[in-house]
Amino acid sequence: MNRRFEAGRPASPRTSTFTAFGLASEAEPLAPGLHIVATPIGNLRDMTIRALATLAAADAVFAEDTRVTRTLLAHYGITTPLLAYHEHSSEAVRDKMIARLQAGEALALVSDAGTPLVSDPGYKLVQAAIEAGIAITPVPGPSAVTTALVAAGLPTDRFFFEGFLPQKAGARRNRLEALAQVPGTLVLFESPHRLPDMLADAAATLGADRAAAVTRELTKLYETVRRDTLGNLAARFGEEGPPKGEIVVVIGPATESAAGPDEDAALDTALRAALARHSIKDAASLVADETALPRRQVYARALVLAREAEGDGA
pLDDT digits over 232-269, tens only?
Answer: 999 999 889 999 999 999 999 986 544 455 566 888 89
Contact between 210 and 155 under an 8 Å Cβ cutoff? The reply is no
Q: Does 190 lie in the same domain as 234?
A: yes
How many domains, in total, are found in the chain?
3
Report the chain's C-alpha Rg in angstroms: 25
- In a shared domain, residues 14 and 95: yes
- If asked whether residues 122 and 21 sit together in one domain, one would say yes
Instruction: Judge if 277 and 235 occupy the same domain.
Output: no
Question: 145-200: per-residue pLDDT in tens?
Answer: 999 999 999 999 999 999 999 999 899 999 999 999 898 999 999 999 999 999 99
Do 240 and 291 sit in the same domain of this protein?
no
Strands (E), 185-243: 185-190, 211-216, 224-229
- 275 pLDDT exceeds 80? yes
**Arithmetic mean of pLDDT over the chain:** 88
Residues 200 and 266 occupy one common structural domain: no
Model pTM above 0.85: no
Residue where a domain terminates, one of 95, 111, 142: 142
Q: Is the Cβ–Cβ distance between 42 and 151 less than 8 Å?
A: no
For residue 120, being part of any structural domain is answered with yes
- Asked if residue 83 belongs to a domain, the reply is yes
Range of the domain at 286: 261-313
Q: Looking at the structure, do residues 126 and 198 belong to the same domain, yes or no?
A: no
Structural domain contains residue 40: yes
DSSP H stretches of helix in 207-260: 230-240
- The domain that holds 221 is classified in CATH as 3.30.950.10
Asked if 13 and 130 sit in the same domain, the reply is: yes
Collapsing DSSP states into helix, strand and coil, what is residue 288? helix
- d(C-alpha 141, C-alpha 77), whole Å: 20
Domain-embedded: residue 134: yes
Which residues, listed in sequence order, are joined to residue 249 by a DSSP beta bridge? 188, 214
Classify residue 174: in a domain, yes or no.
Answer: yes
d(CA 208, CA 226): 15
Q: 277 — phi, psi (to 5°)?
A: -120, -15
